[in-house]
């Protein structure tokens, strides 16, 4: 996977927009790459040492010892990323830019162990983070100005259709090359945990998601409905979104049983 100055500039511009216009706290995150095709090896020196609060012994503990999502508290992995290996039969060996072989969160975890504390909306800080040659992905802190709900494409399509027919307000929506869609809604602010089916993932207080134009193993994340300003998620009620996603899961499960 080859990165250019344009890629880095796009990521920096997105981080500045999320922080400045929308008030979302952002943090730099690692990215996947193909060994032998990346211009610079994943080293932690110079200016970028300030954001790479690494200690030897493995990738950062993104949970901080506590479940960061309802999926984690239900026993499912916080992020479904396979170790560095052949991705979906493409024959391409991908590594995480953190430099750890077999990273379980391939190109999907913040650079800093203390990402929740370090995440910022300060333009000068963000410019500093994305100043160098490394095309850091953009992680945004969930559970403060928004929550995020992730669903597979078939469920997302059905839920979007249902929300459209009902005339429900819809917040920002993104989709990734892994086939999953991200729905942004009003935050639940610590309400009781929900029991969600395996098809759905929830990112609330103390968790993060990657946002466009961040790179996953098969390509870039993209906006289907981009955020339109500071009020982008205020009208997107989590109750109606959750209801539509759960109903879509039920229908898809029923259709799968019919074969």
Query: Could you identify the residue written with the tokens 């995440």?
Result: 119
Condensed to tens digits (0 to 9), the pLDDT of residues 92-129 reads 678 899 988 888 888 889 999 999 999 999 999 999 99
Tokens of 10: 């796009």
- Taking 50 as the pLDDT cut, the residues of the chain under it are 1-2, 38-90
112-121-5-61 Cα dihedral, nearest 10 degrees: 20
How far is the C-alpha of 228 from the C-alpha of 171, rounded, in Å? 9
What was the pLDDT predicted at 130? 94
Residue 154: how many other CB atoms lie within 10 Å: 17
What was the pLDDT predicted at 36? 63
203-207-213-215 Cα dihedral, nearest 10 degrees: -100
126 sits in which H/E element: helix 123-129
What was the pLDDT predicted at 10? 94
Q: Which of 96, 94, 127, 90 is nearest to 109 (CA)?
A: 96
Q: Are 202 and 147 in contact (CB under 8 A)?
A: yes
DSSP string spanning 155-204?
HHHHHHHHHHHHT-----EEE-TTSEEEEEE---TTPPPP---TT-EEE-
């Amino acid at each position: 996977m080859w990165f250019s100055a344009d890629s880095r500039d796009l990521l920096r511009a997105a981080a500045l927009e999320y922080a400045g216009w929308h008030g979302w706290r952002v943090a730099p995150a690692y990215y996947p790459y193909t060994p032998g095709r990346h211009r610079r090896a994943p080293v932690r020196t110079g200016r970028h040492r300030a954001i790479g609060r690494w200690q030897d012994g493995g990738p950062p503990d993104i949970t901080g010892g506590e479940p960061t999502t309802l999926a984690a508290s239900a026993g499912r992995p916080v992020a479904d990323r396979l170790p560095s290996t052949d991705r979906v039969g493409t024959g391409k060996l991908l590594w995480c830019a953190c430099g750890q072989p077999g990273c379980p969160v391939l190109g999907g975890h913040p650079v800093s162990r203390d990402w929740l504390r370090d995440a910022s909306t300060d333009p000068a800080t963000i410019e500093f983070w994305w100043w160098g040659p490394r095309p850091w992905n953009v992680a945004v802190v969930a559970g403060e100005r928004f929550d995020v709900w992730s669903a597979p494409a078939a469920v997302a399509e059905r839920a979007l259709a249902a929300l459209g027919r009902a005339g429900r307000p819809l917040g920002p929506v993104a989709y990734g090359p892994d086939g999953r869609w991200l729905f942004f809604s009003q935050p639940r602010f610590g309400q009781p945990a929900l029991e969600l089916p395996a098809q759905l993932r929830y990112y609330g207080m103390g968790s993060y998601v990657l946002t466009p134009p961040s790179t996953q193993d098969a390509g870039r994340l993209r906006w289907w409905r981009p955020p339109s300003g500071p009020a982008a998620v205020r009208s997107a009620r989590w109750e109606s979104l959750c209801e539509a996603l759960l109903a879509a899961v039920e229908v898809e499960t029923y259709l799968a049983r019919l074969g």
